[in-house]
Amino acid sequence: MDMTGKTIIITGASRGIGAETAREFAASGGTVYLLGRSKNDLNEVSAGIGEKAKVRICDVSIYDDLAAVINGAFKDTGRIDVLINNAGTIDPISTIQFSDPYAWGKAIDINLKGVFHGAHAVLPIMIKQGHGTIITVSSGAAHSPLEGWSQYCSGKAGAAMLTKCLHHETEQFGLRIMGLSPGTVATDMQIKIKASGVNPISALDPTVHIPALWPAKALLWMCGSGAEEFCGTEISLRDAEIRKRVGLDGF
């Protein structure tokens, strides 16, 4: 994929999948806006990328924060070509009975409402320009209940349905809406999960987790014509055929 001249917004870009995705899109020629709450971490990622990276501090759970960044990026570049909804949290890991209702709600604000906030802010721009791709990083947890992860499972399930709703409402305007379920990825989130000792995911051997580079490459591939047939759906990196099409079979 050649992203030269294109503007890409990536939430949760300070580490893991988001940071690796920023590197991939910038290496392909795009201008990448790195969104997150940790200025130091974002600056570190940006420094490794160079002038193609723009750091913006915001909280996706606060609509005005995210909308201001998106509108600012559009003012800077005159276009928004791709929005990657990657920001997410696994906290609080707790059974429903013992969950803190406020922490549970904050997680929904990030994992579900954050996706809505980004889409809501970017849709007028993409619809007016007649093109745009919105991809949300999903999870197998969207489709299977897991002990201690009620907020994560529920938020990801809602985001998966939101992806379908977005496609249903915007396909007529030429927009491309998809989800990516990467499987378990070697990120800081997996460290928290391992430490919790809750549910079977925490018992997985760390060697089974894929590198963050894999979903980053998949997200870039999904912005091209090769993924057109998957608009409105969720792509899974557990699928060997998908990995082959992305070009990961040699990794």
109-162 pLDDT, tens per residue?
Answer: 999 999 999 999 999 999 999 999 999 999 999 999 999 999 999 999 999 999
Give the amino acid at 61: S
Give me the mean pLDDT over the 16-31 stretch: 98
Angle (CA) 76 110 125, round 5°: 30
Residue range 212-246, pLDDT digits in tens: 999 999 999 999 999 999 999 999 999 999 999 99
Q: Mark whether 33 is an active-site residue.
A: no
Domain assignments of the chain as residue spans, ordered by start: 7-246
Which of 92, 37, 33, 80 has the alpha carbon at shortest distance from 61? Answer: 37
Lowest-confidence segment of 86-90, 97-101, 197-201 by average pLDDT: 197-201
Cβ pair 168, 232 in contact under 8 A: yes
**Weakest mean pLDDT among 48-62, 146-160, 178-192:** 178-192
Region label for 132, one of left (φ > 0), alpha (ψ between -120 and 50) or beta (otherwise):
left
Indicate if the alpha-carbon torsion angle 26, 55, 122, 168 is positive or negative. positive
Provide the pLDDT for residue 237: 95
Asked whether 164 and 120 are in contact (CB, 8 A), the reply is: no
Residue 82 pLDDT greater than 80, yes or no: yes
Closest CA to 79 of 36, 122, 25, 19: 122
User: CB of 53 within 8 A of CB of 30?
Assistant: no
* CB neighbour list of residue 206: distance below 8 Å, 6 or more residues apart: 186, 190, 194
* Catalytic residue chosen out of the listed positions 33, 63, 102, 152: 152
Per-residue confidence at 251, pLDDT binned at 50, 70, 90? low
Question: What pLDDT, on the 0 to 100 scale, is given for residue 249?
Answer: 80
> Distance between CA 140 and CA 156 in Å, rounded?
9
- Rounded to whole angstroms, the maximal C-alpha distance in the chain is 50
Residue 51 to residue 54: CA distance in whole angstroms: 8
pLDDT at 107: 97
Across 206-215, average pLDDT: 90
Of 80 and 193, the one with more pLDDT: 80
Position 231 scores a pLDDT of: 97
- CATH code: domain 7-246 is 3.40.50.720
